[in-house]
Amino acid sequence: MHNTVIDTIVQPVILSGGSGTRLWPLSREKYPKQLLPLFGDDSLLQGTVRRVDGIDGVSLATPMIVCNEEYRFVIAEQLRLMNKEGVIVLEPVGRNTAPALTLAALEAARAGDDPILLVMPADHVVIDGLAFHNAVREGAALAAKGMVVTFGITPDCPETGYGYIQAGAKLKESSADAFSIRRFVEKPDYETAQQYVDSGDYLWNSGLFMMRSSVWISAIEQCRPDIFSACDSAWKAEQLDGNFVRVGKLEFEQCPSDSIDYAVMEKIAAGQMNLPAGVVIPLSAGWSDVGAWGSLWQVLPKDLNGNATQGDVMLTDCADTLAFSGGRLVACVGVTDLVVVETSDAILVAHKSKTQDVKKIVDSLKQQHRAEGLLHRKVYRPWGWYDSVDIGERFQVKRMMVKPGAKLSLQLHHHRAEHWVVVKGTARVTRGEDSYLVTENESTYIPLGTKHRLENVGKMPLEIIEVQSGGYLAEDDIERFDDHYGRS
């Protein structure tokens, strides 16, 4: 089957909606794990895009990414850094994977084509790219015949954190290992998981799928007409904004939330209605959903004592430990089975067996309305980034970088004034009716309640120090009048 050529175009669809709370403090609600380089130099999202490159016999369309509107500029920038084109479908609100895939299927069929969708979560790791390519090629051949294909991970331990797929009879239509789907089962307890692994009939549910766009649209319309109707209305109300596809917000807000498994796949496995055949292909490719620090430790390279490190880390007499440094030196002495993660504003120390419980810390942060659950100290914006260096009563100091040619919105603040010192580059400043240049080692002042804008007119990054002063310094004290990036 390795020489199989698929005539139909395969459309990669990357679902980028998760928040990754168990990977706090690196993963934050507004900068989730798929945007982070947890495994190598690429972010998990970039790794997913790159994973489909060069599949022999398969013609790939431009990747399509379905994501929350809040992440759109970071994702666009990550694609740009890879020199990759991409269509980015924006969800105004999160509604789980079944609506996300429905929007992607409608968009993929826009030109009247019927491509095969290769559906991939953005936050997984696959180590063996060749094994993945071979499985995708087999899946495409079956999906081209109208089947709905999923990929089951061959289990190597009784994992209780995954759902399972029970494989049925071997498929006669395929020379490769492909099986009918007998049933989907929820995350089991340890004893049940051990029975599943011992039986040889069960595979981990990977969340990877292949099917024609028309097959998914027909299946979701039969199984969940309410989801299809809301997604269809939202898609028909869409607006194109460069590479961004903005679906109708009001229409999509009416859509029920449901997963691909619950909405369609379990009904296919049960043989309900007049649904297409469901097929599972076993996959052994070093897969992980990187759901928690413990699972990341499993896939990272390790030293002879089982330690995995990233950043500025020193270990003495340690074993089976994961240590991440975001900047400062992390030193561990005489510890075993620990996870230590350092960022600019938070440090996590956890036993490796308890990393699923990191979510409880995130829940507490949310209940206390603490920013550490939402954002990093360094916050990315479409024009660049800012880093909150210091904050106290009635003042805040930020370091800011504005990309060449980029500009902030024309805005004013009702409760704070701002002082800008240019460290590197040249800024064009709009202040009220005036417009003027500020160069290195020069400064300017923006009074409270004054319309202003900052723009990088040079060919190198503009770096400034911003000192805010006033009675209220939160980010929501902003009134925008004109924004190059379509923000309100």
How far apart, in whole angstroms, are the C-alpha atoms of residue 106 and residue 98?
A: 12
Mean pLDDT of the 81-88 span: 92
Q: Is the pLDDT of residue 5 over 60?
A: no
Mean pLDDT of the 98-113 span: 93
Among 290, 208, 285, residue whose Cα is nearest residue 39:
290
How far apart, in whole angstroms, are the C-alpha atoms of residue 236 and residue 259?
A: 22
Q: Which of 145-154, 307-316, 402-411, 477-486 has the lowest mean pLDDT?
A: 477-486
Q: Is the pLDDT of residue 260 over 50?
A: yes
Confidence of residue 19 (pLDDT cuts 50, 70, 90): confident
Mean pLDDT of the 112-134 span: 93
Per residue in 379-424, pLDDT (tens digit) is 888 899 999 888 889 999 999 999 999 999 999 999 999 999 999 9
How far apart, in whole angstroms, are the C-alpha atoms of residue 200 and residue 155?
A: 9
**Cβ 286 vs Cβ 300: under 8 Å:** no
Confidence of residue 2 (pLDDT cuts 50, 70, 90): very low
**Cβ 288 vs Cβ 296: under 8 Å:** yes
Mean pLDDT, rounded, of the chain = 91
- DSSP summary character for residue 59: P
Per residue in 299-343, pLDDT (tens digit) is 899 999 999 999 999 999 999 999 999 999 999 999 999 999 999
Q: What is the pLDDT of residue 1?
A: 42
* Distances, alpha carbon 172 to alpha carbons 143, 169, 175, 178, 179, in Å: 15, 9, 7, 9, 9
Global pTM reads: 0.87
Per residue in 456-470, pLDDT (tens digit) is 999 999 999 999 999
